[in-house]
Amino acid sequence: MGNALSAEVASRLFLSGNDAVAHAVRDAGVRVAAAYPGTPSTEILEVVARFPGLYAEWSPNEKVALEVALGASMMGARAFSAMKHVGLNVASDALMTLTVTGVEGGLVIAVADDVGMSSSQNEQDSRFWGRFAHIPVFEPADSQEAYDMTRAAYRLSEAFKVPVLLRLTTRICHVKGRVELSAAETHEPGGFTKDPRRWVMVPGNAKPRLPLMFEREAALAAEAEASPLNRLEAGSDRRIGFVTSGPAYMHVREAFPDAPVLKLGLSYPPPLTKVRELAALVETLVVVEETEPLLENELRAAGIRCEGKNLLPRLGELAPEVLRRGIATLRGDVVADAPALPAQQVFPRPPTMCVACPHLGIYYTLSQLRNIIISGDIGCYTLGAGHPWNALDTCISMGASMGMALGMDKGRGAADQNKKIVAVIGDSTFMHMGMQGLLDITYNRGNVTILLLDNRAVGMTGGQDNPATGRDIHGIEAPRVDFPRICEALGVKKERIRVVDPYQLPVLFKALREETKIEEPSVIITDRPCVLIDDYKKTPPYAVTEDKCTGCGNCLDVGCPAIHVTRRGKEVKASGKEVDLAFVRIETSACTGCGLCVQPCAPEAIAHSVPVMPVRFMQRSGGAA
């Protein structure tokens, strides 16, 4: 009895959507899983990697991750790939041919849309990729469905020899719920079958496969009509019926519990017959979708009258209060404004870097330079655009800092002739998409100085390992990238490559000043680990001697959040100029002893709170500070 109870409890877990997908990948008998970390999808592969007997890897980018999964599928193995919405843009080159070849072993691609842009540079609707690539799209509405639909996606993938897109959103990825696991299955790869007409996509082989792709899509449309994942829920209020999917379904159910709803789990191809059935039951049909009017436009093209984005916003989550307000005019309801709460005096908390982050000294130094343009990239270091540094001028996409810097150099006019161009890029981003940009800079003789910030982690998404850390996804020792040698191989002269300690501000400042004067490509590699990973070693904290602090505020310009202003004042100089004063203290419980604040402190009011022996930071091979 006890054993039976234990088995029952073990199959019922409290999981986020990401956790649920990971468990489904394991229980579906997947053999190979590959991803590139990106919020909100990161945790899927982190959980998958814990399961024994399943190969998991962090790939250099999403395109490589999808190609790894495809290779496993060609061998007849079940495979999985995960990424955030902008990652699918990177992987799309492989995806758009993969849809023509089809798959052998089941292949599921989980793509997490950051609806509301919690941590992304744009807001995309990945359902478009299903239409564009002619592949089915599953949209879970909670953690249980994330598990069940992932399992179902593998069955559908193998039945139709098609990759399946599992579209998640931030709300699904991170909200937890109870999940009942079903019996795990094993899946033995069938082996690779040589078939150049299928796998070698030269035009002569690809053209005959295009009609097969459209035949498959028609068969999938019939599957969508019969699928239990698309269900029509009756309601007593027939004034308005809703067609919806994913987390928007939950919001519709909360806002309008008595309305008929067609919930789409397999949302592409759309089940038009079921939609028409609902339309016949209600006075008005409303499509509720996050974020684009994709289904709405398809229904109208099919001759089905409906409302949608004329009532509801095209950006952000469609929370119940948003729905009620948008639908109020159709139902004749009056929606009262929420009672206004008294304004709260909340101390502003803009996003900032961590205490002792190695990027602090970099942006402090950049902020001291004049007559430069700084091309930025995607990562923790994007925060350099904010206060107090204001030392980043652009940020577009992964790896874009390199190509944009070259374009700035080649496109400059008379007004910018004397300006220095600096590109800032992190280690993981450099390997993801930056190396090609550096090659372009050297090949085309660009006058650009590159700051390659090696903090030995994918810091922005939680400190995951990558080829520069010397460890794989399991923490096992792996070959470690040598950035100086890579830069030299990509065409940068050896004497124009420097490795510096970003905590040594005078050295960093000198390197930047000298390299930006050289009219050829140069690379400055900063080499300190992220403060949130095990590689980082703390030293005793610093403290401010109050009677020595003159209130100059120089230490505040570093931007370390461990430094707090205790009081402010003003001083009139002999010249008659009035200057602001800021007297500070250091939160010793947060301070890691990096020493960044000590260096700009004019009155030498900052010192270790306890005496310490000097520690020399060891540089990696390939350069010296």
Q: Binding site membership for [4Fe-4S] cluster: which residues? A: 549, 552, 555, 560, 591, 594, 597, 601
Closest CA to 475 of 459, 463, 484, 486: 463
Of the CA atoms within 13 Å of residue 452, those in its CB half-sphere come to: 30
Determine the residue type at 194: K
The CA distances from residue 78 to 43, 107, 130, 219, in Å, are 20, 6, 20, 22
Does residue 352 have a cis peptide bond before it, meaning omega lies within 30 degrees of 0?
no
Closest CA to 265 of 181, 151, 98: 151
Task: List beta partners, residue 268.
Answer: 137
Q: How long a stretch of residues is the chain?
A: 625
Of the CA atoms within 13 Å of residue 324, those in its CB half-sphere come to: 15
Cβ contact 287:296 at 8 Å? yes
| Token representation of residue 519 | 């009219």
Q: How far apart are CA 427 and CA 454, in angstroms?
A: 5
Cβ contact 472:478 at 8 Å? yes
Which segments are annotated as binding site? 549, 552, 555, 560, 591, 594, 597, 601
Q: Is residue 578 classed exposed, middle or buried when 0-12, 13-18 and 19+ CB atoms within 10 A define those classes? A: exposed
Q: How far apart are CA 598 and CA 94, in angstroms?
A: 50
Cβ contact 548:605 at 8 Å? yes
Closest CA to 451 of 409, 536, 511: 511
**Alpha helix locations (H) across 412-466?**
427-429, 435-443
Closest CA to 242 of 230, 256, 228, 225: 256
Determine the residue type at 621: S
